[in-house]
Amino acid sequence: MKRWDAIGFDLDGTLWDSTQTVVKSWSKVCREDPRVKKIPDAKDIQGIMGLTLEKIAKRFFPYLSLEEGLEILDRCAQDEVGLILEEGGRLFEGLEAVLREVSARYPLFIVSNCHMGYIEAFLTHHRLGQYFCDTENHGHTGLSKGRNIRLVMERNHWDHIVYLGDTQGDYDAAQEAQVSFLHAAYGFGTVDVPVPAITDIRDLPRWLQQEE
C-alpha cells in the first residue's frame, strides 16, 4: 500500500544546479546597471537559491530601495529564463532515470520560490515535462512555499505527500504545509533538526520502497 498520494520536489539543489547559467545571466545584467556595487559570483548565487525575490533584493542590494532592487532582479530573471532555455543547467546524475521510475508509481510535482518561467525553462530545455503533473512558484502566486505546496495538494485532491528539498527553508515549508519531508543532503543546504535524508537523487526510489 502506498504511503503517499504524490511526491513533491524543490528545484535548485534538489533536481539540478543552475548556478553557472544564473551567474552568467545576472552578471551581465548587473554590469549594465550603474547602481549595482557588487557583481554576484557563484558563491553569492548558491547562497540565495530558494529565497524569494524580495529576500534576494534585500540581501544583494541593501543600499537600494526594495522597489529598485526588485526592478533589477526582474531584468535578471527575464534574461535568466532566456539563457536557461538555450543552455539549461547541470542535472544531478541519474535524474531522468529516477523521474521515469518514480513517476510510474506516483504523480510528481515541483514547488519552488522562483520567478515565473524558471520551472518551465528547466522542463523545456531538459525535456522533463512529461514526468511532472503540476508545478507552482512564488512568482506566480506570491505565496510562501508551504502555502504553495498546500495549494497544489488541494487542487489535485491529495491528502498525503512527501516533499524533497535541500535546505532549512524547504523543511520549514513542509512543516507549514504539514507534510512529510525528505532532505536532499547532496544539495546546497542543511537542516537543523534530524530528518530522513538521501545523499544522492538516485537513492530516492529505494527510499520510497522502504517507506511503503
- 29-54 pLDDT, tens digit per residue, is 999 999 999 998 888 888 887 788 88
- Calpha distance 73→60 (Å, rounded): 10
Mean pLDDT over 103-123 rounds to 95
- Whose cell is 530601495? That residue is 65
Q: Which fold has domain 6-17+91-211?
A: Rossmann fold (3.40.50)
pTM of the model: 0.89
- Give the number of other Cβ atoms within 10 Å of residue 32's Cβ: 11
Annotate 34-81 with DSSP letters as a single string: TT-SS---HHHHHHHTT--HHHHHHHH-TTS-HHHHHHHHHHHHHHHH
Mean pLDDT over 191-199 rounds to 97
Alpha carbon 124 to its chain's center: 15
Checking 72-76 for CB contacts under 8 A at 24+ apart, the result is: 72/29, 72/30, 72/33, 72/35, 72/36, 74/115, 75/29, 75/33, 76/25, 76/26, 76/29, 76/30
- Calpha distance 191→165 (Å, rounded): 10
Least confident of 9-13, 176-180, 208-212: 208-212
Q: Given pLDDT bands bounded at 50, 70 and 90, which one contains residue 3?
A: confident
Q: CA 186, 60, 32, 124: dihedral to nearest 10 degrees?
A: 30
Domain spans of the chain?
Answer: 6-17+91-211, 19-87
Per-residue pLDDT tens for 145-182?
Answer: 999 999 999 999 999 999 999 999 999 999 999 999 99
